[in-house]
Amino acid sequence: MKIKVLLFAHLQEEAGKGEVELELQGDTVKELMAVMEKEYRLTRLPQAMIAVNEEFADEETVLKEGDSVAILPPVSGG
């Protein structure tokens, strides 16, 4: 299924773009993260938070066609 992945901060620079569309074989966030790590050589992923459709999720969250998954490095606003 097709999943939109949003990247921020250092992850965006590592991937060279802030948004990628992925054809995912599995259906969990964990599987998506493994693909992202391998294909885009993203670093410090274990420290990242995950949001699915703008709400915090976790590795076991099950994805569905068309979901937007954001990979969020530790935040530093304020």
Residues that bind another protein (CB under 8 A): 6, 8-10, 12-13, 29, 46-51, 54-59, 61, 70, 72-78
CB nearer to another protein: pick between 16 and 46: 46
Which residues are CB-neighbours of 67 under 8 A, at least 6 positions away? 3, 4, 52, 53
Secondary structure (3-state) at 37: helix
Find the shortest distance in angstroms from Cβ 1 to another protein.
20
68-72 vs 2-7, strand pairing mode = parallel
CB nearer to another protein: pick between 38 and 75: 75
